[in-house]
Amino acid sequence: MRRIATAVVAGTLLVTTGCASMQSMKMPTQVGGMPLNWKTCGVAGAVAGGLLGAIDSFGAAAAGALTAGLIGVLLCRDVQQPADHDVDGVLDSVDRCPGTPQGQKVDAEGCEMDSDGDTVIDRNDLCAGTPAGVKVNASGCPVAGDADRDGVPDDRDQCASTPVGARVDANGCEFDADGDGVTDVNDRCPTTPAGVQVDASGCEIDSDSDGVPDSRDRCAGTPAGTPVDDQGCERPQDGDHDGVPDTVDRCLDTPAGVAVDAEGCTRTTDADNDGVADSLDRCPGTSFGTPVDAMGCAADQGPGPDTGAAAPGGTGSQAGAATGAASDSVRAVAQGDIVVLQGVNFASGSATLLPESMQVLDSVAGDLLDNPDLAIEVGGHTDNTGSAATNRRLSGQRAEAVRSYLIGKGIPASRLSAVGYGPDRPIASNRTQEGRAANRRVELKKR
C-alpha cells in the first residue's frame, strides 16, 4: 500500500512538474487546443495520480488524484501564461502583426506571408511572383512608372529623360512644331520649311556664311565678307552708286543723283538723233543724217549768236595757242594725267561754245580718232559765284556740250562721258578774279 501511494505521488509530481516546466520555458501555450495554465496542471496531476492509484484500489485512486491535483495547482499557480491573442502560433511578445485573421499562414514574426516580397500579402496579391524591385499597385500587380514625370508612362515614353517642365507629345518627346529635329525650346527658327537641313539651333544651314541659306543660295562658296544679293551671288561693286556695276560702268565718278544710261554715264536725250543733247540742241528736229555743228544745227547754218564772254579754260585770245597744245593734252590724258582744255570757252552763263573753242576741239577730236582705245571723261567746273546747284547744272551742260561736239566729229559716244562738278573741285582761290577764272574750266581725264 505504501509503495502504491509513493508511486502515485511520484507520477503526479512528474506530470505537474512537466507542465510547469513547459510554461516557464515558454513552450507552446496549447496542447490539443487546451491552454496550459494552473487549471490544466491541476487537472493533469489529478488524472495522472488517479490512474496510478487505481492500480491498488479505488480509495488509492481517489487519494492519488486529490493529492496530485492539489500539487499541480500549487506548482503552477504563480507561473504567468505567455499570451497569443490572435492564436497564430507567435507569442504576442514577438508578434509584429497582432490581430492576424485566424487560419492565415504567418512568418516567424507573426505577419502574413508575402512570397514575392512586393509588400502585398499573399492573401491580397493578385499577381503573385512579381519580380523583385518592380513597383506594384495595391493588388500586387506591376504599375507603369514615369521616371521623367512628363505624364507619359515609361512603357510608352520614347524620350525617357525629358527635362522637367518641358511640353511633350503623346510619345513623351518634346514638341518640334516644324519637324526639323530641333525641339521648340531650342529652336531659334521655329518655322523652318519641311525637309530643309538645319543646324543645332534649328535654323537653315548657310555654309558660306553670306546670310543666304543654302536652300536659296545659287552661288555656294562665296568668299567671306563678299556682298551678295538675295540669291547669295556676289553683288557687283558700284563705286559711284549710280546703279551701274563698276564692271560695266564707263563713267565711274558720276556725281550722286545724276541720271545715267546703261553704261553709267550721264543720260542725255537726243530726240532728233543728231548727236547733240536736247539740252544743248539749238535746232531740235534736224532731219536724220543731216551734218550738224555743236549746237545741233545744220553745218551751213552756223553756231548761232555769241556773246564773247570768257568761260572755263581761258579767253578767246588764247585759242590759237590752245589749238597747238590740244594734241599734247590728249597724249597727257592717255598717260593718266588730268588736263585742262585751254581755249575752250562758253558764252557767259550758258553752255554755248564760242567759235575759238571749235579749233581746239577739232584738234582733240583728231587725236582721239588716232587713239581709238582711249576713253575719256569730260569734266566741267565753275567758280563759286552764285548757287552751287546752278553751277553744277551749268558745268554739266558745258561738259555735255564738249562731248556732243566731239561725237559730232566722229568720236563714238561710248568713249566719252560728261560730268559736271560745279564749284566742288577748285584748283585756285575763289577770292581773286584770276583764281575764279582758273576754276572755270573743262578738263579731260582717262576713264
- CA–CA separation, 412 vs 404, rounded Å? 10
Residues 6+ positions from 236 with CB-CB distance below 8 Å: 245, 246, 247
pLDDT for residue 410 = 92
DSSP calls for 31-63: ETTEE-SHHHHHHHHHHHHHHHHTTT-HHHHHH
Q: How far is CA 120 from CA 88, 113, 133, 391, in A?
A: 19, 9, 13, 106
pLDDT value for 14: 52
DSSP lists the bridge partners of residue 34 as: 31
Note the pTM of the prediction, 2 decimals: 0.34
Digitized pLDDT (tens) for each residue of the chain, 447 residues in all: 554 555 555 555 555 555 555 554 444 444 444 455 556 655 665 666 556 555 655 665 566 566 656 665 665 555 555 788 888 888 888 888 998 898 888 888 889 888 888 888 888 888 888 888 777 888 888 777 777 777 788 777 888 788 887 888 888 888 888 888 888 888 888 888 888 888 888 888 888 888 888 888 888 888 888 888 888 887 777 778 888 887 777 777 777 777 777 777 766 666 777 666 666 667 888 887 777 766 678 765 543 333 333 333 333 334 444 444 555 677 777 777 888 888 899 887 888 999 888 888 998 999 899 999 999 999 999 988 888 888 899 999 999 999 999 999 999 999 999 999 998 888 888 888 888 888 999 999 988
Q: Are 29 and 82 in contact (CB under 8 A)?
A: yes
- Output the nine-digit C-alpha cell for 116: 514575392
Residue with cell 492565415: 104
312 closest CA partner among 364, 253, 378:
378
Rounded Cα distance between 39 and 86, Å, is 22
Nearest to 114 by CA among 106, 86, 90, 131: 106
Task: Note the maximum CA span of the chain.
Answer: 192
CA distance from start to end of the chain: 164
- What DSSP letter does each residue of 340-383 carry, written as one string? E-TT--B-TTS-PBPHHHHHHHHHHHHHHHH-TT--EEEEEE--
Query: How crowded is residue 269: how many other Cβ atoms within 10 Å of its Cβ?
Result: 9
Q: Are 192 and 184 in contact (CB under 8 A)?
A: no
Residue 299 CB coordination number (10 Å): 11
Distances in whole angstroms, Cα of residue 268 to Cα of each of 191, 258, 303, 348: 50, 11, 20, 23
Q: Residue 109's pLDDT is what?
A: 87
Spatial distance between the Cα atoms of 440 and 398, rounded to a whole number of angstroms: 11
Question: Measured between alpha carbons, how far is 256 from 163 in angstroms, rounded to an integer?
Answer: 59
Q: pLDDT at position 10, please?
A: 53
Q: Which three cell numbers stand for residue 49?
A: 495520480
Separation CA 351–CA 277 (nearest Å): 12
* Bridge partners for 314 per DSSP: 311
Looking at residue 414, what is its pLDDT?
Answer: 92
Q: What is the pLDDT of residue 398?
A: 93
